[in-house]
Amino acid sequence: MTGFNLELPLHGEARTTVSEHNTAVRFGSGSVNVFGTPAMVALMEEAAINAVDSKLPCDHGTVGTELNIRHQAATPVGMNVTARAELKKIVGRKLIFRVEAFDETEKIGEGCHQRFIIELERFRHKVGRKSK
């Protein structure tokens, strides 16, 4: 348990359908019209966000800081993909997740993802200073 009242285990999920908007060709990460690795990464992050962000105070959120994943199988246009995240460990404001992604027939990816709890206004102010 942390000062943010997060308790293990927490689970999140995110879903999408493979379309021309999330293929490897669209992202420039490959030359085949299948679910792109960048799209899978984003879906895994969304699942992790869905696991914890609603449990944080409204002036806090999370940002991704590390991701180590394997994209194990291709998914064609038209298939549904589901990403799942399980919060495995809390170290202060660092959150460590196990992430997996599945299409309608098999596991297509898995790995570990870290997020960091931030105070939103302070974070925005810090980032804003960079653009001046």
Which 3 state secondary structure label does DSSP give 112? strand
Alpha-carbon distance of 99 to 5, in angstroms, equals: 22
Phi and psi (nearest 5°) for 53? -60, -35
Cis peptide before 76 (omega within 30 of 0): no
Active site residue 105: no
Q: CA of 68: how far to CAs of 12, 34, 45, 60, in Å? A: 18, 21, 12, 25
Candidate list 45, 62, 75, 113, residue with the active-site label: 45
Largest CA distance in the chain: 49
Active site residue 71: yes
Active site residue 23: no
Candidate list 23, 60, 62, 71, residue with the active-site label: 71
Candidate list 37, 86, 110, 119, residue with the active-site label: 37
State the catalytic residues: 37, 45, 71
